[in-house]
């Protein structure tokens, strides 16, 4: 049986979804401050850049810790990248490690849900009358 591959959202749709996720997550968490919507755009771009460059390198360097902790150390890496992004992006601040961990968990959940909604609404087959 040949199952056709699922198309992925374009980079523009993913950027919009991740920007909305960053803005919504910062709104939900009182210990995370995000000044403007344009700051959320820059944050989404920087986190995407970190996830494509720094995160694989950090995962490779910390394989023993990740295996020993049954993968929970990946959460520490994600929180560290959020804290690094809060240092680099003006207008975005995170109070501490636990706030960064909560931000990274909510951010990934919300952005996944938004991208999944795009897949359901745009790519579902149309019914014929």
Over its length of 129 residues, how does the chain's per-residue pLDDT go in tens digits? 676 666 666 788 889 989 999 999 999 999 999 999 999 999 999 999 999 999 999 999 999 999 999 999 999 999 999 999 999 999 999 999 999 999 999 999 999 888 877 665 655 555 665
Q: Give the pTM.
A: 0.83
In a domain, 123, yes or no: no
- How high is the pLDDT of residue 14? 86
In a domain, 101, yes or no: yes
The two three-digit tokens of residue 61, written as one number? 């360097």
**Residue for token digits 């745009």?**
122
Q: Is 93 helix (H, G, I), strand (E, B) or coil?
A: strand
In a domain, 128, yes or no: no
Q: Which domain holds residue 96?
A: 11-115
- How high is the pLDDT of residue 116? 78
Contact residues for 117 (Cβ-Cβ < 8 A; gap 6+): none
- How high is the pLDDT of residue 20? 93
């Amino acid at each position: 049986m040949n199952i056709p591959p699922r198309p992925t959202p374009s980079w523009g749709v993913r950027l919009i979804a991740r920007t909305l996720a960053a803005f919504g997550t910062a709104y939900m968490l009182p210990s995370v401050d995000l000044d403007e919507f344009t700051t959320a755009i820059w944050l989404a771009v920087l986190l995407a850049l970190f996830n494509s460059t720094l995160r694989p390198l950090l995962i490779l360097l910390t394989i023993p810790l990740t295996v020993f902790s049954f993968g929970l150390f990946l959460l520490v890496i994600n929180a560290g990248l959020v804290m690094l992004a809060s240092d680099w992006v003006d207008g975005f601040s995170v109070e501490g490690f636990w706030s960064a961990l909560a931000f990274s968990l909510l951010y990934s959940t919300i952005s996944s849900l938004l991208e999944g909604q795009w897949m359901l609404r745009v790519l579902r087959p149309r019914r014929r009358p």
